[in-house]
Amino acid sequence: MAFAGKVWKLLVGIKDGLSLVFLLLFFALLYGILTARPSPAQVRDGALLLDLNGYVVEEKTEIDPLEVLLSGQEPVGEYQARDLVHALEEAATDERIKAVVLDLSEFGGGGQVHMQAIGAALDRVRAAEKPVLTYALAYSDDAVMLAAHASEVWVDPLGGAIIAGPGGSRLYYGDLLDKLKINARVYKVGTYKSAVEPYSRNSMSPEARENYSALYGSLWEEWQANVKKARPQIDLDLITKTPAQWVQDNKGDLSKAALEAGLVDKLGNRVEFGERVAEIVGEDDWNPGRGSYAHTELDPWLADKTLSKDGDAIGVVTIAGEIVDGDAGPGTAGGERIAELLDEALDDDLKALVVRVDSPGGSVTASEDIRLAILRHKAKDIPIVVSMGNVAASGGYWVSTPADRIFAEPETVTGSIGIFAVVPTFERAAADLGVNGDGVRTTPLSGQPDLISGFTPEVDAILQSSIEDGYTDFITRVAKSRNLTTQQVDAIGQGRVWDGGTARQIGLVDQYGGIDEALEWAAKQADLEDGAWHVAYLGSQPGEYNTLLRRLLGGDSNAAGPGGDLFAMVAGQQRAIVGQVENDLDRILSVRGMQVYCLECPTAPVRASQSAAPKGWLAKAAALFAS
């Protein structure tokens, strides 16, 4: 029996050892897969295929695998604007690339500034005498703006194109909250600070209407000017002023209507489009099916075209998405995370720092954390430059105040210099349910803030005074940065939102230009010669693990896209409305503390959950409510 026991223990030991070995091999294999990079060996002669199944963004979000699995939805595809511009610039000069193909069938857009930058890169491809071809089932505003730069625009005969223009309606909950007997206590400074209006009104205020009529009018004029310049044959008046008549005259055939108006050049399905591309670049030896053509996809192309690391470094930090407290992001601007990135780079001997902002703002405390971290770089006596993307408003402008120079595009949305907070209390609803608060106070602040029994007048006064002090801090920072008086900043502040062209006229922006112009200016100020410097992005490159997850979870198409025909677009708008309601409710119920946020600023759809912990005295209400 003793011998049998020893044999049994030996067998168990062997089994455990083999299990450990196989487990280690499994994790080694998994690590190898997750760290696999796109291979430059996949680059071949033919077309550069940009299959944009999703959105163009300033910065990709990190994927949470657990969140994706629980939601049961594929992650939406994301493509960094700078990656697309870099890919196109390299394609213009590489002999292996004979043409560029954009598949926009599931393209969701990305904002006018990004579309303009990519469109300019497409123009450089065409200037190199290489054709650019686009294909889609249905074109919407941003897709039309990109396709306008193509030499051939194709649309499926079952599809079409619709131009909506900027603007639209948003939801107002004032009457609903009144019926539910919820008091939305609003504290704000700024006549035009409309972010709080959905919780206190049932419609847009005259001041907000005036502001956004001017803003959207300017954006619309810029959009039309860009499209007409790139595609003179397009009849925008026909498409946008009498859209119903335009479609009816073509008996409801949207594809023929698009062809008639000059939106597209040819009607054809995907196979016919592929055969046309194959005539230019050659057939696909790897996939000889109908409609196939020789091509290289984006990831291996970028792997083959890595950025130079020669010379001195100019740092670029990206502030993209809502600014929140904590370490959220990338894709969301977690104040703690971005401040840490900047502090870690203090020892990197950067010759200049470019702050790329594409954010509607958010938390005051997070914005201040980022601003102070930028100032620590400025204390090293290096040039600080801000490059604004689609949106750099409210908190997005707060973090821009340390800049020596601010670059923006005419389509950039900026300003919104104002501040607010919203705190819900439930004393009326509680009273209806027979719940009343009573007790003994030693001071007016005893037991406050009380979300169930309501706030005392003293608490209301303190909160409003705190907001007013925050606004004073805001305009003081802007005044010092822009060499203006606080009275001048107050006159252009008050929560008013400006387009980039007007912002330059009133002194909020120094110069037109994108990130390339900002980098060149920074290099010149740092006395760096051409070719003697390179760009160092601070912690914003998604890891190989994240890239692979996007591929695995998104299938062969890289990710789920928002595209489809006209009715699919309508369905997408319905989903966007549901998302808006969810975000609005979260904003009032989470009580995020003082906010410098532009609610009406046009931004990309929310693509990731945001984890943030509100700070400061105002946030105590949230802690009490959560408990």
Residues noted as catalytic: 193, 394
- Residues 162, 239: Cα–Cα separation, whole Å: 8
Q: Residue 155 is which amino acid?
A: V
CB 598 within 8 A of CB 386: no
Look up residue 557 and give its DSSP letter: G
Tally the C-alpha atoms within 13 A of residue 206's C-alpha that lie toward its C-beta. 0
Two tokens, residue 24:
């280690």
Residue 433: count of CB within 10 angstroms of its CB: 9
CB 95 within 8 A of CB 271: no
CB 411 within 8 A of CB 390: yes
CB burial of 99-113 (b: ≥16 within 10 Å; e: otherwise) equals bbbbbbbbbbbbbbb
Tally the C-alpha atoms within 13 A of residue 188's C-alpha that lie toward its C-beta. 26
Longest CA pairwise span in the chain (Å): 96
- Residues 113, 146: Cα–Cα separation, whole Å: 11
Handedness of CA 455, 457, 458, 461 (dihedral sign): positive
- Residues 72, 301: Cα–Cα separation, whole Å: 31
CB 192 within 8 A of CB 207: yes
Q: Which residue is associated with the tokens 């509680």?
A: 430
- Residues 112, 125: Cα–Cα separation, whole Å: 20
Of 133, 52, 101, residue with least CA distance to 561: 52
Radius of gyration of the chain (CA): 27
Numbers of helices and strands, H then E, in the chain:
24, 23
**Strand positions, DSSP E, 148-230:** 152-161, 183-189
CB 525 within 8 A of CB 40: no
Two tokens, residue 6:
């020893």
DSSP character string of 58-119? SSPPPP-HHHHHHHT-PPBEEEEHHHHHHHHHHHHH-TTEEEEEEE-TTEEE--HHHHHHHH
Of 292, 238, 245, 268, residue with least CA distance to 159: 268
Of 208, 206, 183, residue with least CA distance to 193: 208
- Residues 398, 413: Cα–Cα separation, whole Å: 14
- Residues 595, 156: Cα–Cα separation, whole Å: 45
CB 599 within 8 A of CB 195: yes
CB 363 within 8 A of CB 325: yes
